[in-house]
Amino acid sequence: MKSLDAFAQKKLAALANKGLQRKILDTDRTKDGGVLRKGRQLISFCCNDYLNFNHHPKIKRAATQAIKQYGTGAGASRLITGNHPLISQLEQRLARLKDSEDACIFSSGYMANIGIIPALANEQDIIFIDELSHACLRAGGEMSGAHMMFFRHNDMTHLQTLIDQHRLNYHKALILTDGVFSMDGDIAPLGRLSCLAKKYDCWLMSDDAHGLGVIGGGKGSRYIFDPLPDIALQMGTLSKAIGSFGGYLCASKPVIDLIKTRARSLIYTTALPPANAAAALAALDIIDSDPDYCRRPMDNALFFTKALGLPDAQSPIVPIIVGDTAKTMAFAAALEEDGFLVTGIRPPTVAEGTGRLRFTFSARHSQKQIHALVASIQKHNILKAGNTA
């Protein structure tokens, strides 16, 4: 269709004009934790494979074995014939890890959020959501039809004010937040959130995509708090530190039963392939048995922030806010020239004027590699140009 192509071209040209056209580049993630892009070997500081499980021999063996035994695909939705026993086993395993009664596996973290929230809330309800929450928490909220109210990032006074003003006008209420914020690397005040949730009968949901495996002894961001906060809905992904694919929700038995009956992104999509479940199970075994290894990404992030004189990292994610989009992308290109892959993050992933370099640290980065990265950042005066979060 000519009109369709014309629309796409015009829209793209307008985005390109603002430096917002995105390109997806072929990237081969090599065994040593590096990447191969455009024929060049780079050290990646932007993968979410925090524990380098993508190439872990035990995990690869578990996945390969599962493919040999069960094949490559799931064949159907979990409600038809796709519910492989390995998926049920993985649910039990995650429920145990998160100290919850039950769990539900989805095909991805995004699918989890757009399934869970609309199954729990509708037009008569209200959702309080941290303004920096991940795009798929926001998408789930919007799909539910509930009234969305954004509270200022990690600002409990603002949340309390919004609850005071609005809670009573609605039936049910949810509070949504990232556990570890994906673009900022800081952590939600889960203790205080759980107190507010309890006091005003709001259902607290945390998206701990970046916490599992690397924070709280590998159990996630909830586990750095004492006392342990009550989080009714603990959601996360198997595609980051776990090195596999898939999303999950840990919650009480009645909630999980309802989700399995009502979440459309679970019912109307094909189940996770058995090999992904096998890989995740093997990864959780390693996390259980080796807390020292799980601490390494965090230690590396702290080494980085100390070397640059930044505030201590709270997670393996450390942003340097540059601001201007073109400048952000130019710095990313300069680092790539020096051999480091650090993707620039720009709107609409982050707010206008907060373009940033987002560094993620993994278990296998060496201090020598981090030193070299720090030297490159200093050489290009990146810190002076930005103001760090």
Ligand X SMILES: *Cc1c(COP(=O)(O)O)cnc(C)c1O
Answer yes or no whether residue 234 interacts with ligand X by CB under 6 A: no
Amino acid occupying residue 345: I
Among 33, 115, 213, 247, binds ligand X (CB under 6 A): 247
Give min distance, CB of 91 to ligand X, in A. 16
Answer yes or no whether residue 346 interacts with ligand X by CB under 6 A: no
Q: How many residues sit close enough to ligand X to count as binding (CB under 6 A)?
A: 13
Shorter beta-carbon distance to ligand X: residue 239 or 376: 239
Distance of CA 301 to the CA centre of its chain: 17
Answer yes or no whether residue 134 interacts with ligand X by CB under 6 A: yes
Give min distance, CB of 171 to ligand X, in A. 26
Answer yes or no whether residue 222 interacts with ligand X by CB under 6 A: no
Sign of the alpha-carbon torsion through 341, 347, 350, 356:
positive
Give the range of 28-36, 204-212, 252-260, 298-306 binding ligand X by CB under 6 A.
Answer: 204-212
Give the range of 24-32, 86-94, 103-111, 272-280 binding ligand X by CB under 6 A.
Answer: 103-111
Answer yes or no whether residue 315 interacts with ligand X by CB under 6 A: no
Are 183 and 190 in contact, with CB atoms under 8 Å apart?
Answer: no
Among 54, 144, 177, 182, binds ligand X (CB under 6 A): 182
Answer yes or no whether residue 243 interacts with ligand X by CB under 6 A: no
Among 104, 173, 197, 209, binds ligand X (CB under 6 A): 209
Structure token digits, residue 256? 């999980």
DSSP readout, 126-145?
Answer: EEEEETT--HHHHHHHHHHT
Structure token digits, residue 155? 């600002």
Structure token digits, residue 73? 């695909």
Structure token digits, residue 33? 């934790």
Distance of CA 237 to the CA centre of its chain: 7
Angle at which helices 109-120 and 253-262 cross, to 10°: 100
Answer yes or no whether residue 269 interacts with ligand X by CB under 6 A: no
Answer yes or no whether residue 336 interacts with ligand X by CB under 6 A: no
Answer yes or no whether residue 176 interacts with ligand X by CB under 6 A: no
Among 52, 54, 234, 237, binds ligand X (CB under 6 A): 237
Answer yes or no whether residue 115 interacts with ligand X by CB under 6 A: no
Burial class (CB in 10 A: 0-12, 13-18, 19+), 221: buried
Answer yes or no whether residue 110 interacts with ligand X by CB under 6 A: yes
Measured distance CA(25)–CA(189) in Å, rounded: 36
How would you classify residue 19: left for phi > 0, otherwise alpha for psi between -120 and 50, otherwise beta?
A: left
Answer yes or no whether residue 136 interacts with ligand X by CB under 6 A: yes
Sign of the alpha-carbon torsion through 246, 252, 256, 262:
negative
Give min distance, CB of 108 to ligand X, in A. 4
Name the site residues for ligand X (rule: CB under 6 A).
Answer: 108-110, 134, 136, 178, 182, 207, 209-210, 237, 239, 247
